[in-house]
Structure 1
Amino acid sequence: MSKQTPSVVSSTPSHSWRGWLWDSADVTKEERKFLFKLDATLLTFGTLGMLIKWIDTSNITNAFVSGMKEDLNLYGNEYNYIVVAWTIGYIIGQWPSNIILTRVPAHIWIPFQEVGWTVFTFALAGAKSYRALLGLRFVVGLFEAGYWPALYYVLGSWYNKRELGKRNGILQSAVSIAPIFSGFLQAGIYNGLNGHAGLAGWRWLFIINGVISLPIAVLAYFFLPDTPGTAKPNWIFSERDIQIAQERMTRAGRKPEGKPYTIRTILGFLTSWKTLLFTLIFTMQPFGSHPFQSFVFWLKAHNKKGQPMVYTVAQINEYPTLGNAFTAVYSLTCVWVSDGPLRGRRWPIILFSNMIAIVVFVLLVVTPVMGPFSHRAPLYIVSSIGGSMVPLTMAWMAELISESAEQRAFTAASMNTLQYTFNAWVPLVWFQQVHQPYVTPGNRAAAAVAGLNIIVFSAIALLAHREKLARKRNNQVPDILDSPEPNPVDNGSEKSPVVNVLALQSKNVEPLGQPT
């Protein structure tokens, strides 16, 4: 084995502001080059793919309030059922997609899904009836099913604890940015293309979505990397790059794919407290997101038939983007603080955000529904503060389930499956279209669920702490990130931690070189 001193700066929290701002500032020149290539491919095309997915997901709401409702005579609960049709397709595809992902290269499977939903998004532009919308939205949901958990699984296979929160946050920011983009896009299309070539503005939205999506999906085939355990050298990543990735994941305790799927294995996943509690958290997610979705209906409700418009179509599409912008900025701030000053701890910010969510939901319950914009709108804008913890929750899950790639993939799919299973019926019970924006019982339920979230997250933190203590009692090598006194880095030189050397030697892993 080489006598080189291993680089551990990428595995320890940095004390410098540059390291907290962006972690690759403190690693070796070789590892910094590797991380640049990884961010430039996986993070860039993963985020672009997430952006087009959520534009294609959220555009149905923009289309509905921009003429589709009137053109296709959707005056009952048809909107809710269209959403449910997409949700059913999304639910059906979750587990099969992520199981396939552990056996089929990511650069093949993920772009295949992107092309699939793009084709059927084009088809939505030609929908002539409510039934056609139901069928097309179901197929779009089926193709979109595996994308979100797949990207989080792939990110969790490449990045360590001081890196993962930020990357998850950047990826998830696309979920907030997409409705902003879609809202302004729909406003521009409605004003500029409504009636052009005999097509309504809302139909042009689907066409332009497809035009944007297709080239990104095709390029993803060439740029998205596979996981470190399945990747092969190519025109972007060399054999040494893959070796670096595998060394990094060995230090983080992250195991690669390879375990067979058996009934006993699946039962083990289903009875694991980690899979169960993280899935339970996501099961309750719909209660935290629907209060914000009432914002667009609240704006539209001010316009009465036969009376002057209070809010224009453009304003109805644009004002809710303030909430998406808040969620994106707040979420990114939280992941940077968690990765940096909090040294990878996820639970403090998660608990704080859910406490604030309770306050917001209670205020939505007790304030007049049709009150002034300045009283009600700010509550809608910040109401997704609890839901903005998704990146930290997914990072926490990947870090706690490091010993099994298959369980990580299964749990990510499980979380999303149960979330959308509940999302299929929660709107029909608590946030019905015919009652919008008068959904006070739903806001009351959201406050109660946010309180339950605090209990479950606290249980995860307690069980994770007990497991960490058990590992130490059993003399298992702890993650270097959990060390209370990280090794100093001074002008490019550093002390070699005995723990990390022994860990690498015990696994016969060639360490990385000296930092530059």
Structure 2
Amino acid sequence: MTAPDIDTKGGGVTVIDEKSPSPVTDSPPSSVTAIVEQTPKRTWRSHIWDTFDKPREERRFLFKFDAIVMTFASLGFFIKILDQFNINSAFVSGMKEDLQLNGNELNYMTSMYTAGYIIGEIPRSGLPFGSRLARQVTWSVLTILLIKCTNANQLYALRFFIGLAESSFYPGIQYLLGSWYRKDELAKRACIFHASGNIAAMFSGYLMAATYNLEGVHGYHGWQWLFIINTVISLPIAFLGYFFLPDVPEITKAWYLTGDDIALARKRMELEGRANRQPYTVAKLKKIFSSWRIWLLTLVYVLFSNGNGYGGQPAFALWLKTLGYGIFEINTYPTIQYGITVAFTLIFGWTSDGLFKGGRWQPIIFAGIANIIFNVSLAVWDINVGWKWACYCLGLLGVGLSGIAFAWAHEICTEDNEERALVVAFMSTFAQVVQTWLPLIIWQTVDAPRYRKGFISSIFIAVLMMACAMVIRHLHKQQDAKKQKNAATV
């Protein structure tokens, strides 16, 4: 592609490329005219949705891209989390008793899933999106095989391979979002994507409550029907996602994007300072691994990931079970916490992009303070029952920080595509590495429902997460100041 002519009249940038053929259709050269704001102007409408104040051509592109990509990315994550959470729903709904899982087997199932996830994550993070998405079919099929398990060892093996199949989807999609969206757009989309997983966690509870009524139908237990229906839901989404999710703008061949769309997408990333792909070299790797960015961004994500979610344990449901609630209640009442998590995930995304003007540290501090309050209360345990309900219902609001953390990483590493890809992969992978062993120590199922070690540990993790976020903020400001100084001297 020849370098585009740029007209900066009127405060915008006009991209005119009369020679480049469409990379999608290989059609004859056509004129490409798209207006992209160097610094998008903001009015009150941008706080509702960021496209409202953008030029018409850009609004059209974003509407189409959002409608297709965000839909299928979110549906893909929905089925991933549905697969992941259904093991917890099944465990508290008869699987524990039917398979005599009376020890820490749920911990081990979680750890085996995580081990498979870790092994598959970084080596497969560079796969084309078609290859990644084809594996959605694999994990959907493996899920239905759980109904044939008769002992814990069989469950461990299947959970390992399900984790292996799912490993590259989440970091891959987060990398994809960071390759198409600008700073004022990114956190909202990343949080919408992540919120689909919280919706899946809610749906898992409702689905288990419904399928429990199928107990004995065709000889299957209610919890086995959960995995059957899970697969029926997952397979169509997996097949459709295969055809709709694109790759990065510089190489995409998505059938629904025109040459004008791709030219606009590339220009948007150019204005954002988002670097294109380059080969990995020894010098590049030395630069990446000698920087604070890969280590501190990974650390803050490890702390976030292991300080929220009770180590993968269905803590709320197990507490309700000790109080004598039935299967319907222990599957549906905990969905309240996931509904609240969805709300806070979206609040984090909207305020981070809008109110805080791209600030990512503020939601992290808010969630850290909330985690301290709730975990101190649950560690004390003998507290007012109403407040305990509140602590459980609000206790997962910090789960919504995932999209914020990835958006921050994309922006901090925007000038080096390979660093950005590695940082995203390291963040997800090392969070999973810690999740492999830490719950076995502090979130043991046999400690339910009090989990004293887990609640106390989460207090310290929250403090460390906030401290790490403030260090990253300071270093990021220094990095931006140095960049501006260098630009001024050129």
TM-score, structure 1 as length reference: 0.86
Counterpart among 290, 299, 302 of residue 280 in structure 1: 299
Instruction: Confirm whether residue 51 of structure 1 aligns to residue 83 of structure 2.
Output: no
Matching residue of 1:110: 132
Instruction: Confirm whether residue 230 of structure 1 aligns to residue 251 of structure 2.
Output: yes
Q: List runs of 5+ in structure 2 lacking aligned partners.
A: 14-34
How far, CA to CA, are the matches of 2:479 and 2:124 in structure 1?
Answer: 30
Cα shift readout 1:409-435 (whole Å, capped 9, x = no counterpart): 211111111111111111111110111
Matching residue of 2:364: 350
Alignment RMSD (CA, Å): 1.8
Q: Is the 8 A contact 2:143 2:227 kept in 1?
A: yes
Matching residue of 1:319: 333
- Give how far 1:439 is off: 1.2
Matching residue of 1:151: 173
How far, CA to CA, are the matches of 1:430 and 1:423 in structure 2?
Answer: 11
Instruction: Confirm whether residue 409 of structure 1 aligns to residue 421 of structure 2.
Output: yes
Matching residue of 2:346: 332
- Aligned residue for 1:340, secondary structure, equals helix
Residue correspondences, number: 461
Question: What is the percentage of aligned positions where both structures have the same residue?
Answer: 38
Counterpart among 37, 43, 46 of residue 16 in structure 1: 43
How far, CA to CA, are the matches of 2:41 and 2:81 in structure 1?
Answer: 34
Q: Is the 8 A contact 2:191 2:349 kept in 1?
A: yes
Aligned AA for 2:88?
A: T
Alignment of 1:15-164 (within 5 A): 15-98=42-125, 100-101=126-127, 104=128, 106=129, 108-164=130-186
Alignment of 1:102-501 (within 5 A): 104=128, 106=129, 108-191=130-213, 193-232=214-253, 234-257=254-277, 259-284=278-303, 285-290=305-310, 293-302=314-323, 310-368=324-382, 373-475=385-487
Bigger relative contact order (CA 8 A; separation at least 6): 1
Q: Is the 8 A contact 2:379 2:450 kept in 1?
A: no
- Aligned residue for 1:125, secondary structure, equals helix
Aligned AA for 1:123?
A: L
- Give how far 1:12 is off: 3.2
TM-score, structure 2 as length reference: 0.90
- Give how far 1:388 is off: 2.1
397 and 2 in structure 1: CA distance in 2 versus 1, 3 angstrom threshold? closer
- Give how far 1:320 is off: 0.9
Q: Is the 8 A contact 1:10 1:24 kept in 2?
A: no
- Aligned residue for 1:474, secondary structure, equals helix
- Aligned residue for 2:308, secondary structure, equals helix
| Greater Cα shift, 382-391 or 53-62 | 382-391
- Aligned residue for 1:475, secondary structure, equals helix
How far, CA to CA, are the matches of 1:19 and 1:461 in structure 2?
Answer: 25
Cα shift readout 1:33-89 (whole Å, capped 9, x = no counterpart): 111111011100000000000000000000111111111111111111111111100
- Aligned residue for 1:323, secondary structure, equals helix
How far, CA to CA, are the matches of 1:4 and 1:273 in structure 2?
Answer: 36
- Aligned residue for 2:397, secondary structure, equals coil
231 and 439 in structure 1: CA distance in 2 versus 1, 3 angstrom threshold? same
| Greater Cα shift, 222-231 or 243-252 | 222-231
373 and 313 in structure 1: CA distance in 2 versus 1, 3 angstrom threshold? farther
124 and 9 in structure 1: CA distance in 2 versus 1, 3 angstrom threshold? same
How far, CA to CA, are the matches of 1:199 and 1:86 in structure 2?
Answer: 24
How far, CA to CA, are the matches of 1:372 and 1:277 in structure 2?
Answer: 38
Q: List runs of 5+ in structure 1 lacking aligned partners.
A: 303-309, 478-505, 507-516
Q: Is the 8 A contact 1:287 1:442 kept in 2?
A: no
How far, CA to CA, are the matches of 1:46 and 1:56 in structure 2?
Answer: 16
How far, CA to CA, are the matches of 1:122 and 1:50 in structure 2?
Answer: 18
Cα shift readout 1:276-333 (whole Å, capped 9, x = no counterpart): 001111222213221784111111122xxxxxxx311011011111111111101201
